[in-house]
Structure 1
């Protein structure tokens, strides 16, 4: 369980780092499409995080909140 939590936290940090790289690429005005590459990488890592959470819920590693309010 701890390994799964560390994996999710690591992926979230990679997502934030990739978003920061896209910001700096946008501010520098790079014309070689590096900003879109970083944003695409962020979207891909976000999809991996969602799929891992769904898999963990299916396997019973993570329990969703029964009362969301």
Structure 2
């Protein structure tokens, strides 16, 4: 259960970075950090989440759905 909570926290942080990038894009101010900073974090977190899911499936902590339909 802790494993799934850990993944959910990463997903929430990824969505937070997505919305931060949107705010920076809409304000168009030079005082804020560049939008690529938040987009880069989002891509990095996506890669980490995929890696964590693969480890979870390989170790048996997460079981995939046997019937996807």
- Normalization by structure 2: what TM-score? 0.90
Tell me if 1:9 matches 2:5: no
Length, aligned pairs only:
68
Aligned: 1:29 with 2:37? no
Runs of 4 or more consecutive aligned structure 1 residues displaced over 4 Å after TM superposition: none
Runs of 5+ consecutive residues of structure 1 not aligned to the other structure? none
- Structure 2 residues without counterparts, runs of 5 or longer: none
Query: Whole-Å Cα distance in 2 between the matches of residues 21 and 54 of structure 1?
Result: 28
CA deviations 1:4-59 (Å, max 9, x no partner) are 11110100010010001000000011357621110010010011001000000000
TM-score, length-scaled by structure 1? 0.90
